[in-house]
Amino acid sequence: MERSKQKQMNQNENEADSAINGKFDGRVKIPGWSAGGAAGTPSTAPSSSVMESWREERTRSLEDNEMSLPSIAAAYTTILRGLGEDPQRQGLLKTPWRAATAMQFFTKGYQEKIIDVLNDAIFDEDHDEMVIVKDIDMFSMCEHHLVPIFGRVHIGYLPNKRVLGLSKLARIVEIYSRRLQVQERLTKQIAVAITEALQPAGVGVVIEATHMCMVMRGVQKMNSKTVTSTMLGVFREDPKTRDEFLTLIRS
Ligand SMILES: [Zn+2]
Nearby residues of 149 by Cβ (< 8 Å), 6 or more positions away: 138, 139, 140, 141, 142, 181, 183, 209, 210, 211, 212
> What structural domains and CATH numbers belong to the chain?
60-109 (1.10.286.10), 115-249 (3.30.1130.10)
Q: Which candidate, 150, 156, 122, places its Cα nearest to that of 232?
A: 156
Alpha carbon of 241 to ligand 1 centroid (Å): 33
Tell me how many helices (H) and strands (E) the chain has. Answer: 9, 7
pLDDT at 216: 87
> Where does residue 155 fall: left (phi above 0), alpha (psi -120 to 50 degrees), or beta otherwise?
beta
The Å distance, Cα 31 to ligand 1 centre, comes to 34
Which residues 6+ apart lie within 8 Å of 160 measured at CB?
128, 198, 199, 200, 201
Question: Where on the phi/psi map is residue 105: left (φ > 0), alpha (ψ -120 to 50), or beta?
Answer: alpha
Q: What is the pTM of this model?
A: 0.77
Residue 128, pLDDT above cutoff 90: no
Confidence of residue 24 (pLDDT cuts 50, 70, 90): very low
Model confidence at 37, pLDDT cuts 50, 70, 90, reads very low
- State how far the Cα of 11 lies from the Cα of 4, in Å rounded to an integer: 11
CA of 225 to the centre of ligand 1 (A): 13
22 sits in which H/E element: none
Q: How far is the CA of 185 from the centre of ligand 1 (A)?
A: 13
Mean pLDDT (the chain, rounded): 82
Residues that are catalytic:
142-145, 183, 211, 213
- Please state the rounded mean pLDDT for residues 16-43: 36
* Edge-to-edge strands, sheet with 202-211: 180-181, 131-142, 148-158, 202-211, 226-233
Q: How far is CA 80 from CA 94, 96, 105, in A?
A: 12, 8, 20
